[in-house]
Amino acid sequence: MAQLKLENVRKNYGLVPAIHQIDLAVNNGEFLVIVGPSGCGKSTLLRMVAGLETISSGDIYIDSQKVNDVEPKDRKIAMVFQNYALYPHMSVYNNMSYGLKIAGMSRTDIEKRVHQVAETLEIKSLLDRKPRQLSGGQRQRVAMGRAIVRNPALFLFDEPLSNLDAKLRVQMRIEIKQLQRRLGITTLYVTHDQVEAMTLADRLLVMNAGVAEQIGTPMEIYENPQTTFVAGFMGSPPMNLLNCTVSIDRKNLMLDQRQIMPVPSLSSPILDKIIVGIRPEHLVLDPQGVLELTIDLVETLGADILVYSHLGKQRIVARLPGHHQVVLGDTLNFHIPDNRVTFFAADTGKKITS
């Protein structure tokens, strides 16, 4: 196991900043997931930790050792890639043992370690096969096995499940989590899939355009997003973000000329506009509710249904129990519970505390 620390880490490509100042501490045995949309800098950050990208400024420490100028092979890390990166002409056994041979380990020790890891990953029967004879899930296990046999201090995963079908991704997600718990290896895992991020992480780092938007446990980030970006990215479907105006008498918040709630008492003064955030599952079906919505679309998920509607140009999504019978064109009323609302400044997109 290892501790990882990033201090004031930045990455520029010429004059273009790709990673703004990142300060991060990852504890021994922690599973940290870096999540964000394509192009946000998450893989670049991972590659800087691995030593595959130089940093423009700042410092990276692994177990208190500054590794800015340390070669990747000497950083005690193992990396699993999106495309598996297996040697096609080698057997599974040789793919897993190759790095150990290069490191000068004895043949007996190599064989013992490869067989132990293969048994853990349930790929012992595949050791004589070539990668072309394996399914996608089997190849991913081999790629993980090749990393594990090195007995690294730090695991780095770069979107390892994105090439798998949906069912296999769920299965591999469970296996990765269980394996990491069993081995206790400090892990950084990059993904653009927020469901994958929520289910795997001890903590999440949400990135946007090279900026660390928020760091916290999955539920901290889900229930207490600090910016509209985080609120709109984390969650399936994401939080409703309603652009509201303050009434002339400054007493109520208005949405599409409808009064939806009293003006809240917040730490920062409210100007003329404010963003009201509420999760789809927190909208309460109520015949007397202030939100009267005509249903545009219904998605049936089994246990739940998602109903889509709009007010003006703003889309609103509600999650209801699956037993509700809702069809297109129905008009439903919803109540907005005061204790389930998050307020954001319209100009900065940052959360306003009460």
282-337 residue pLDDT tens:
999 999 988 999 999 999 999 999 999 998 888 999 999 998 888 899 999 999 99
pLDDT of residue 162: 83
| Number of other CB atoms surrounding residue 131 within 10 Å | 19
| pLDDT of 35 over the 90 cut | yes
| 58: its two tokens | 């700042």
Closest CA relative to residue 112, chosen from 93, 128, 95, 131 = 93
**Residues 231-249, mean pLDDT to the nearest whole number:** 92
Q: How far is CA 19 from CA 32, 54, 67, 345, in A?
A: 18, 12, 18, 25
Q: Say what the pLDDT of residue 168 is.
A: 82
- Do 167 and 186 lie in one domain? The reply is yes
Do residues 34 and 45 touch, judged by C-beta distance below 8 A? yes
CA 108 to chain centre: 40
In angstroms, what CA-CA distances link 195 with 99, 166, 233, 236?
33, 12, 10, 7
Whole-number Å distance between alpha carbons of 50 and 346:
38
Query: How confident is the model over 72-113, as pLDDT tens digits?
Result: 988 989 988 888 788 999 999 999 999 889 888 899 999 999
Say which CATH number the domain at 320 has: 2.40.50.140
Give residues with Cβ within 8 angstroms of 67, minimum separation 6: 51, 60, 61, 75
Cβ atoms of residues 286 and 335 within 8 Å: yes
Do 262 and 214 belong together in one domain?
no
Asked if residues 344 and 228 have their Cβ atoms less than 8 Å apart, the reply is yes
Let me know whether 43 and 186 are in one domain: yes
Greatest mean pLDDT among 67-76, 83-92, 224-233, 256-265 lies in 224-233
Indicate whether 328 belongs to any domain. Answer: yes
- Residue 225 lies inside a defined structural domain of this protein: yes
Write out the two tokens for 172.
């591999």
**Side chain identity, residue 267:** S
Q: 254 and 190, same structural domain?
A: no
pLDDT at 219: 96
Q: What is the mean pLDDT of residues 181-205?
A: 93
Average pLDDT, stretch 244-268? 84
Amino acid at 323: H
Residue 350 domain-assigned (yes or no)? no
Please indicate, yes or no, whether residues 121 and 221 belong to a single structural domain of this protein. yes
Residues 335 and 219 in one domain: no
CATH of the domain at 54: 3.40.50.300
Assess whether 54 and 32 both reside in one domain: yes
Are 72 and 47 in the same domain?
yes
* 354: in domain: no
- Residue 203 backbone dihedrals phi, psi, to 5 degrees: -135, 155
Position 218 pLDDT exceeds 80: yes
Residue whose C-alpha is closest to residue 159's, from 83, 254, 240? 83
Domain that holds residue 280: 237-345
In a domain, 78, yes or no: yes
Of 201, 230, 259, which residue sits at a domain end? 230
Check whether 165 has a pLDDT greater than 90.
Answer: no
Asked whether the beta carbons of 280 and 351 are under 8 A apart, the reply is: no
Residue-level pLDDT at 1: 67
Within this chain, do residues 150 and 244 fall inside the same structural domain, yes or no? no
Q: What is the mean pLDDT of the chain?
A: 91
pLDDT score, position 276: 94
Total domains in the chain come to 2
Amino acid 308 reads Y
